[in-house]
Structure 1
Amino acid sequence: MDANNRWFILFTVVIALLLAVMPLPYAWLWFRPAFCALLVIFWTTRMPQSLGVGFAWLVGIAEDLVTGSTLGAHALSLAVLAYFSLLTYQRTRAFNPAQQLMWVFVLVGINQLLGNWVHSLVGKTVPGLTFLWPALTTALLWPLVTPWLHGIASRLRVR
């Protein structure tokens, strides 16, 4: 992986981390998309031979530090998300946009479920299925964000 690839990928991760802590009104907090999860899915499916579970774990540790959550909660859930993404990346490339949207919902839902489980271990429970709202908003963002990222990555020759 050359220097352009690393800098652009790092830039996208920093933007995702900033969006993860961007102030929102209290009523909207549960609807914040999982930007880091979206990026992990995007980069692991675009560059599966270079970016994998270790990349996702590092992004998760950074997200834990930036958001002030339990250390390892995002790292664990993003590593599992990357694993499932890597298992299915060849198949999901052939999916139509609606199927990709559903698959992203499932992946981010698993990510949110694991994060909620870790938070419940330390006594921070979430009532009902509220923790799944970010999975829905992230899936709805997928068809908007990925063509844009693909276009920029192609122009910069990120491979």
Structure 2
Amino acid sequence: MTSRFSQRMAINAALMMGLVLSVMPMSAGLQAWRPEWSMMILLYWVMAVPNRVNIGTCFIIGLLMDVLLGSTLGIHAAGMSFVGYIFAHHYKRIRNFSLSQQALFVGLMVMIERSIVYLVEYYVSNASLQSNYFLPAVSSAIIWPWLFLVMRKVRRRFGVA
């Protein structure tokens, strides 16, 4: 029982770390390049253990992101749920991709999520699109291989299966 508890705590701690990294202060020059930490960690767990971390978890983390960022409630939840569905539906195929292919796919998924968030914000509050809005997709794709290896080490350390 404690083993199962420690596995669940490892997953929850990683997800909370992603939320903390998503709102951690950064310098103004690097702010536009902030990777989508919570989404990348969430996508890793959806790919690694889809029976434990699923679309419902994506929705909850998205709601937490909405609350933390002060955005319209449900916008990030919708984007993360959509991307989580794609990952959950194709997790067997994505596992067989090389790290560089996974990085490109994660970058694409971040771009899709950011597009959904922008479109909903545009229709709700007439938001304007800035030139650096999709830079987090590039930085997330660059960081993915290292994040993947760290998260795999955490998963193996706690025996999450």
Asked whether the two chains share a fold, i.e. TM above 0.5, the reply is yes
Identify the residue that residue 9 of structure 2 maps to in structure 1. 7
Identify the residue that residue 91 of structure 2 maps to in structure 1. 89
Q: RMSD in angstroms over aligned alpha carbons? A: 1.5
> Which 10-residue stretch deviates more, 23-32 or 75-84?
23-32
Matching of residues 44-123 of structure 1 within 5 Å: 44-123=46-125
Deviations 1:23-55 (A, max 9, x none): 112232221100111012101000112211100
> 1:33–1:135: 8 Å Cα contact kept in structure 2?
yes
Matching of residues 22-37 of structure 1 within 5 Å: 22-37=24-39
- Quick one: structure 1 residues 58 and 107, their matched pair in 2 at CA, closer, same or farther if it must change by over 3 Å? same
Q: Any stretches of 5+ residues in structure 2 without a counterpart? A: none
- Quick one: structure 1 residues 130 and 124, their matched pair in 2 at CA, closer, same or farther if it must change by over 3 Å? farther
> 2:66–2:75: 8 Å Cα contact kept in structure 1?
yes
Count the aligned residue pairs.
159
Deviations 1:71-120 (A, max 9, x none): 11111100001001012111111111211111111111111111111221
2:133 is paired with a residue of what secondary structure? helix
CA distance in 1, matches of 2:84, 2:96: 18
TM-score computed with the length of structure 2 as normaliser: 0.92
> Which 10-residue stretch deviates more, 110-119 or 76-85?
110-119
TM-score computed with the length of structure 1 as normaliser: 0.93
User: Which amino acid counterpart does residue 107 of structure 1 have in structure 2?
Assistant: M
Deviations 1:103-149 (A, max 9, x none): 11111111111111122123252435532111111111100111111
CA distance in 1, matches of 2:29, 2:126: 19
